[in-house]
Structure 1
């Protein structure tokens, strides 16, 4: 007999996404041309620093043929234009498709006359009273009110729908600089918090002993690194295999791999699975020369608009993935690489938009993977300690 009892889905922490992205505002209450012009002003001002996007709906009510090869039956067409790239879809996009397309956006402005977003900007415009009343149920998180030229007060039905309307910033529609600064401040305050992850779950086959347990500075390296990075992070975790958890000292958080068999790639994904809205400062325990200056420089030059901030390897010029700040937007990117059969964090960095930095001290990025490496670095560390 087969049980028909409902089986619950796995308990997963979902990213704090709206209809399109984490930071999105529907602009509602004005003619579409005013919304387009306002969005253009904000995007022009913020795009040098942030990846900005816009979502709207066409007003073309006529029955027209689909563009290009879609008219011949293709479901998708891509065109490499001279100064932009164009995708045409035949089938409608589902909500999850929008989140995928906008995954890299820092800011999404939406024409709220046609589509919703998780936060709203309400324009009080006399000629759009009826339209705004139709969408009053969509005003779930109003964060800014704008008054058009011919308006001096907020509509009564908005006051009822938005109980905290008097505490919200309110500008005139032509106060462009104030409006731009509103969005700039919102994006600055939305900068993701950073957690730390010490990678200590490897097999250490070449070394012959667990590299995380090697003592370089009076304590095991996994604890030394966790203590070193905690000043930069909200929380610090030691990444490990499930069978290693009981060996970790009390007082140190553990984060066992849930993406198993993937090495560091799986450890990073496991961290994002736990906290998908945090950035993660990843550090491998096989770099005993890492110091405060190396971390200071990395954090100082962090850029949440890119998917990661990493150092350039002095050995081959490629990004060093295991002392890197991985931003939340890198999570879906890494999953997409995994879906295509790639599990190399460096390959993700090489093929993505990242902030690539020169290390203040290239020697600090030295890996220790073999007994010969161990002896060499051990002598180097002892000499430094003796000289100081």
Structure 2
């Protein structure tokens, strides 16, 4: 069963049984400035990611660190329930906030989120507790679907001070469905949805890709 509303014409409207959760509380140490507010095209990274998630999901929130400055966006902004746990704490906070059984977790430093890739992953949510993309042999835990069954595992990890979100993939209590590079390329041929920005060099590359796409009419 596909988790979607439809217009009478059959046009897809919105995913209603998965919550979009955007992580936007990073320290941006390698970037040298707050990544959330750097521009790619006419939008900041934060705006680009929020826009995609808002187009896809009926419910969306942004998770920021406890000591992060406030954000002005069109969706609820919530602070980490658990300080200094990075993406793992953001995941936990998003799962606790969501009223749905599943969330799609994304990082706001991924400027080319692909709605079709995300829809594909969401459709597989009932097969596993985690549906996670893998690109160039590396799992992408901040581009993944997580179910509420992950909550006890995260709480256990926090108790033993294991902040590595990747560790969840090896936990015996969780079923994991990997979306490998070949599967992603069938939808997103160039794999640009997996691109993330950590450094000024990454930012320049993203801007170059955007300019090329805008010039060929692929992106506005």
TM-score (norm 2): 0.79
Show the counterpart of 2:122.
299
Deviation at 1:243, TM superposition (A): 4.5
Q: Does 1:387 pair with 2:213?
A: no
3-state DSSP of counterpart to 1:286:
coil
Q: Deviations over 1:264-288 (max 9, x none)?
A: 1111111223337531110001111
Match of 2:142 among 296, 312, 322: 322
Match of 2:107 among 271, 284, 300: 284
Show the counterpart of 2:8.
none
Q: Is the CA contact 1:272–1:328 (under 8 Å) kept in the aligned structure 2? A: yes
Q: Does 1:378 pair with 2:207?
A: yes
Equivalent residues, number = 193
Greater Cα radius of gyration, structure 1 or 2: 1
Show the counterpart of 2:59.
235
Q: Does 1:312 pair with 2:134?
A: yes
Larger RCO, structures 1/2 (Cα 8 Å, 6+ apart): 2
Q: Distance in 2 between matches of 1:202 and 1:227?
A: 19
Show the counterpart of 1:266.
89
Q: Distance in 2 between matches of 1:312 and 1:246?
A: 32
Q: Is the CA contact 1:222–1:238 (under 8 Å) kept in the aligned structure 2? A: no
TM-score (norm 1): 0.46
Q: Is the CA contact 2:40–2:206 (under 8 Å) kept in the aligned structure 1? A: no
Show the counterpart of 1:29.
none
Show the counterpart of 2:179.
357
Q: Does 1:332 pair with 2:155?
A: no
Q: Does 1:202 pair with 2:26?
A: yes
Distance 1:337 1:244, change over 3 A: closer
Deviation at 1:303, TM superposition (A): 2.6
Runs of 4+ in 1 over 6 A off after TM superposition: none
Deviation at 1:380, TM superposition (A): 1.6
Deviation at 1:224, TM superposition (A): 1.9
Q: Distance in 1 between matches of 2:81 and 2:157?
A: 17
3-state DSSP of counterpart to 2:40:
coil
Q: Distance in 2 between matches of 1:306 and 1:333?
A: 14
Q: Which runs of 5+ in 1 are unaligned?
A: 1-191
Q: Distance in 1 between matches of 2:198 and 2:114?
A: 19
Q: Deviations over 1:335-375 (max 9, x none)?
A: 22222331111121244421111323333201210111111
Q: Is the CA contact 1:214–1:221 (under 8 Å) kept in the aligned structure 2? A: yes
Report matched runs for 1:105-116 at 5 Å. Answer: none
Report matched runs for 1:80-95 at 5 Å. Answer: none
Q: Which runs of 5+ in 2 are unaligned?
A: 1-15
Q: Is the CA contact 2:21–2:61 (under 8 Å) kept in the aligned structure 1? A: yes
Aligned residues: CA RMSD:
2.0
Q: Deviations over 1:219-274 (max 9, x none)?
A: 2222221221224323111111244453323x221011111101111111112233
